[in-house]
Structure 1
Amino acid sequence: MLKVLTEKAGLSCAHGGRVGLEASQDLVRIQGVPALVRPDLLDRPIRACPHATPANPPCFRTVSVDEAASYSSFVFIEGKPLAKLSATGKTDWSKLGIVPFSAGAAGQDFVTVGE
């Protein structure tokens, strides 16, 4: 069982930049905070990525999401699967979309969902 992600979840790029989160639904809240669903992890801003080089800017946005790892196949809100703690994807770093992002904290401690 994996915890469900909320707007308070801690997601970051591989360099340590913080992914900004905003829920697209407001129907379900956990501890007063909206739960995340598909597509809430895609095209999200990344703040304070420290890995800039003269040739490459830092990570700015999430560009892809691993659907199987990131979203429940069992629990849906308004037809959209819940996001879970195993969430992963890629960022736009170096325009190649190869640097991963992942979840480190769910933003809540009570609600879990099956793989």
Structure 2
Amino acid sequence: MRATDAVGRYGEDVAARFVTEAGWRVLDRNWRCPEGELDIVALDGDELVAIEVKTRRSARYGHPAEAVTARKLARLRRLTAAWLRAHDAPVRSVRVDVVAVTLPARGRAHVEHLVGVV
């Protein structure tokens, strides 16, 4: 496994723990279809949330959330629709969130949760 893959996997673990501790139910992790992958699919009450996780070791290349472009968001919306077609999940509404994880050289990961990114 490449170092960047390990950092990304760790960030996804941190994000999954973060939403679980907030009382959410994780339905899927790393769900794949021909169009791509959703990092985390979770329920926040009866609202389905597709979560894109971005992890960085530093701000050298910008804030992790800056990597989620308009093009990426459009893709996430298409992937979320594909997930809904593939699963029978009774949901009131759907949104896309971004969880940005920064891993300092020492100490705990810093987690920033951006809700309803459009």
Q: TM-score, normalised by structure 2?
A: 0.29
Q: TM-score, normalised by structure 1?
A: 0.29
Q: Which has the higher contact order (CA 8 A, sep 6+)?
A: 1
Instruction: Answer 1 or 2: which has greater helix percent.
Output: 2
